Amino acid sequence: MISVKELIKESRFSGNYFVPDTYIQGDLESGLIENRDGGRLLALPESFIQAIYEGLTEEVGNASEAVLYKCGAWWGKTFYRRFAEEVSQHLGRPLAEIDMIEFLQSFQQCWKTHGWGNIELDFDFYQNGFIVAKIYNSAFARTSPTLDKPKCFVEAGLLSSFFGGLTGQKLHCIQTTCESLGADCNHFVLGLPERVKRAEAWLQEKHDHATIMERLSHGQADRYVKP
């Protein structure tokens, strides 16, 4: 016997917490944009992101890639903490008790509402120890200087520490395709550092995403990324 009264009381399901017209709010008097939880949001102009790329390249050369990755990793760590707090508060359960599908929905909507593009997660290589993320309309790809390799280091860093936080393992992330190079989306591969880093050489040899995934998944699948 289903008790609707109990289900209504428990309110275990709520709608889209990250719906833009509610999630993003403005305080006109103080000139702030805030999320519905009171956290401050900033709207960055594209030219500012462009300036970060150019300024860093001018000042530190190739090290700018590592700097951007680190910045992304720092961002991802705090983003994971805030995201976990907001989602578990909204759904009334700790993140560990939230279904994977609800987690993914929240993650995708959160990403979209912040204006970072659209993100999809692909678990086809999960049994081999890898998660693939696809990002469409990335702000970082659009504003990056056009070079001969993927340039979304900030997002790669962000994804590595976000999913590192989620899985409780140290993860690394490499980008295998980039919108700045004409690809339809940005592919990112996440996994344990010693396994993912093998792909860096294949990237330099200009292998495509499918080939890299095939080669990666032919490695030993003895260590998995825990859900």
Partner 1 sequence: MDTALQSLLYAADDHYLSDADLDRFHQDIQSLAERIETYETLRDRELAILQPTADYLSEEFPTADPKLLERSVIHWINILRYSAMAMLLNDQAFLSQRILEWMPDLVQAYQLQDIEKTLYRFLQMQLKNSLSPEQLNLLKPYLEEAHATLLSVTPALQPAA
Site for partner 1, rule CB under 8 A: 1-5, 7-8, 12-16, 19-21, 101-102, 104-105, 109
Q: How far is the CB of 36 from partner 1 (least distance, A)?
A: 13
Q: How far is the CB of 219 from partner 1 (least distance, A)?
A: 27
Kindly give the pairing relationship between strand 186-191 and strand 131-136: antiparallel
Q: How far is the CB of 99 from partner 1 (least distance, A)?
A: 8
Do the Cβ atoms of 212 and 199 come closer than 8 Å? yes
Kindly give the pairing relationship between strand 24-27 and strand 40-41: unpaired
Name, in order, each residue with C-beta under 8 angstroms of 74's C-beta and a sequence gap of 6 or more: 157, 161
Name, in order, each residue with C-beta under 8 angstroms of 199's C-beta and a sequence gap of 6 or more: 174, 176, 189, 212, 215, 216
Q: How far is the CB of 16 from partner 1 (least distance, A)?
A: 4
